[in-house]
Amino acid sequence: MRRVLRAAYIVWVALRYGLDELVLTSFQHPGLRLFARIASIGRDLSAPRGQRLREALQKLGPIFVKFGQVLSTRRDLLPADLADELALLQDRVPPFPGGEAIASIERAFRRPIGELFTSFEREPVASASIAQVHFATLVDKNGREREAAVKVLRPGMLKVIDQDLALIRMMAGWVERLAPDGKRLKPREVVAEFDKYLHDELDLVREAASAAQLRRNMADLGLVLIPEMFWDLIRPEVMVMERMKGVPISQVERLREAGVDIPKLARDGVTIFFTQVFRDGFFHADMHPGNIMVSVDPATFGRYISLDFGIVGTLTEYDKEYLAQNFTAFFRRDYKRVAELHVESGWVPGDTRIDELESAIRSVCEPYFDRPLKDISLGMVLMRLFQTSRRFNVEIQPQLVLLQKTLLNIEGLGRELDPELDLWSTAKPFLERWMLDQVGPKRLWRELRQQAPYYARMLPDLPRLWHEYLRQHTREAPDAELRLLLAEQRRTNRLLQALLYGAIGFVLGLIVMQILVRVLLF
């Protein structure tokens, strides 16, 4: 019954904000367009379609707001006006009572709150659609009193999310069957992607593990602080971590008054992001100003403080190579290489004409070069490439879309801090270093180390296998077979000599290539 009532409410909201008109006018059939005009009589639908969609999602509640936020990152699928409007969605949700938070914590640990913490603040300091945060103090394993932040999921969220997701899946199926671009938009795949992100956010153990990984990766960089996790107090619905103190990065004047070097802060943010992407292949994918503070403590002055690790992105070596080569080719204006990379990636159909794709990419990218490098947005470049590729049926990978969204966030943040920030000059060293690692002896040595356990297991068996082979074949045909084996052994020896000389030549070639790349590549 509740599901029926929820579906009726969704229909009512859709009619109130004219979402039926938005869908029907997307069809080319004149009858449906006429029906849409008739159905809109008596309703005020003068507001832009993007605004109406945003307001409808806000009316439907936190889950639909979250869905709109995820959908806003898929600029490769949505028209620009809808994506821009959905990007304005904010999940401002009233907090739930502190008593409910305490009950959830006690239920998770099966212990009274007083045994877990020496003090616990009932009033939350932050509240969102999925969880809220309370401050507390506790005694750690070493007997020291520590300040902590306790993140608690909203009670009953999983049931609500599953109900709304079932309805969203149903609507996605309708869109796929009825909309003219339904199959290209892949609404069910988008909903599945949203389902994954949302359930990942509902598992706070996963979030804590992501935070620990980022903390370990960033330890040697000295530019960012990530809270320590108290693993004895981590459960799927409760996460207890070190309390971080700092100034929100959006309060630029306070940071200036504290003596923070703002231009350096902007460069450090870009350095952190590109280190996570091109060095680690594991990056914080929700780096908006609400999740970032700056330390003003003398011991860690001027460092970033990163919070909320519910969404992280991962990149394979192949993804990193695709990105690095795309950016490098773009700044060289080598549009043919950009087109070839799209085809080589396998995301473009094999029968795509390179010259047509090259021309389309050129028409999008060339206007950027009338601007100084500091005014060029790498995030916008990536987004334009995705949008251009849409007409060529490119299959854009979710991890790259997540990266593009994060890159736009970082660029926007960096240029708010320092309008003169030259993103390319900051990114270039990482791309250079990564490209050199791919063609140099480091890559060869890394591959050899990875294969070493296999060879270590295989080599001790070779003499025994060789002896058994000789003995068996010698028994069968002592003379003829032996002569053949001796001849084969001589050929094998010559082959091994050739391989040895080839390997020496290969290593020498790598050294020469390394020198040439350093001199000529950039």
pLDDT at 459: 64
Q: What is the bridge-based pairing of β-strands 145-153 and 131-139?
A: antiparallel
Please tell me which residue, 5 or 74, carries the higher pLDDT value.
Answer: 5
Beta strands in 154-295 (DSSP E): 224-225, 229-235, 238-242, 247-248, 282-284, 292-294
432 and 466 housed in the same domain: no
Please tell me which residue, 70 or 284, carries the higher pLDDT value.
Answer: 284
pLDDT at 304: 94
Between CA 55 and CA 19 the distance in angstroms is 11
68 and 45 housed in the same domain: yes
pLDDT at 240: 96
> Is the pLDDT confidence value at 279 over 90?
no
**What phi and psi values does residue 120 have, to the nearest 5 degrees?**
-145, 125
pLDDT at 101: 93
pLDDT at 417: 84
Work out the average pLDDT over 483-508: 68
Single out the residue of 522, 313, 293, 302 nearest to residue 407, CA to CA: 313
403 and 261 housed in the same domain: yes
124 and 29 housed in the same domain: no
pLDDT at 315: 85
Between CA 134 and CA 413 the distance in angstroms is 27
**What phi and psi values does residue 133 have, to the nearest 5 degrees?**
-120, 135
429 and 510 housed in the same domain: no
349 and 474 housed in the same domain: no
> Is the pLDDT confidence value at 442 over 80?
no
Q: What is the DSSP string of 374-410?
A: GG--HHHHHHHHHHHHHTTT----HHHHHHHHHHHHH
pLDDT at 104: 93
132 and 67 housed in the same domain: no
> Is the pLDDT confidence value at 475 over 60?
no
Between CA 265 and CA 294 the distance in angstroms is 9
Single out the residue of 16, 71, 7, 68 nearest to residue 39, CA to CA: 16
pLDDT tens, 373-424? 566 666 667 667 666 666 676 666 666 777 777 777 787 788 788 887 777 6
Please tell me which residue, 92 or 283, carries the higher pLDDT value.
Answer: 283
Q: Which two tokens stand for residue 72?
A: 């806003």
Domain enclosing residue 289, as ranges:
247-439
Q: What is the bridge-based pairing of β-strands 304-306 and 224-225?
A: parallel
**What phi and psi values does residue 330 have, to the nearest 5 degrees?**
-60, -50
Q: Are 400 and 319 in contact (CB under 8 A)?
A: yes
> Is the pLDDT confidence value at 518 over 80?
no
Average the pLDDT over each of 18-22, 67-71, 348-352 and give the range with the smallest value.
18-22
pLDDT at 503: 64
79 and 158 housed in the same domain: no
Catalytic site residue from 286, 308, 375, 461: 286
Q: How many CB atoms lie within 10 A of CB 164?
A: 21
56 and 141 housed in the same domain: no
Work out the average pLDDT over 40-45: 60
SS3 assignment, position 115: helix
- Which of 386, 417, 439 terminates a domain? The answer is 439
Q: How many CB atoms lie within 10 A of CB 289?
A: 14
Please tell me which residue, 407 or 292, carries the higher pLDDT value.
Answer: 292
Q: How many CB atoms lie within 10 A of CB 146?
A: 16
Work out the average pLDDT over 75-97: 73
153 and 295 housed in the same domain: no
What 397-401 contacts at long range (C-beta under 8 Å, 24+ apart), as own/partner pairs, is 397/319, 397/347, 398/193, 399/313, 399/314, 399/315, 399/319, 400/319, 400/322, 400/323, 401/73, 401/74, 401/76
pLDDT at 159: 77
Single out the residue of 166, 202, 222 nearest to residue 311, CA to CA: 202
pLDDT at 418: 82
pLDDT tens, 158-216? 777 777 777 777 777 766 666 655 565 567 777 777 777 777 778 899 999 999 999 99
pLDDT tens, 300-354? 999 999 998 988 888 887 777 777 777 777 777 888 888 888 777 666 666 777 8
Residue 422: active-site member: no
- Which of 404, 439, 474 terminates a domain? The answer is 439
Q: Does the predicted model carry a pTM greater than 0.75?
A: no
pLDDT at 515: 64
Between CA 493 and CA 307 the distance in angstroms is 61
454 and 494 housed in the same domain: yes
What is the domain-level CATH number for residue 222?
3.30.200.20
423 and 509 housed in the same domain: no
> Cα–chain-centroid distance for residue 503?
39
* Mean pLDDT, rounded, of the chain: 77
**What phi and psi values does residue 88 have, to the nearest 5 degrees?**
-85, -5
pLDDT at 412: 78
Please tell me which residue, 298 or 84, carries the higher pLDDT value.
Answer: 298
| Banded pLDDT at 106 (limits 50, 70, 90) | very high
Work out the average pLDDT over 250-254: 89
The number of domains in the chain is 4
> Is the pLDDT confidence value at 35 over 60?
no
Task: Please list, residue by residue across 75-107, b when 16 or more beta carbons sit within 10 angstroms of its beta carbon and e when fewer do.
Answer: bbbbeeebbebbbebebeeebbebeebbebbbe
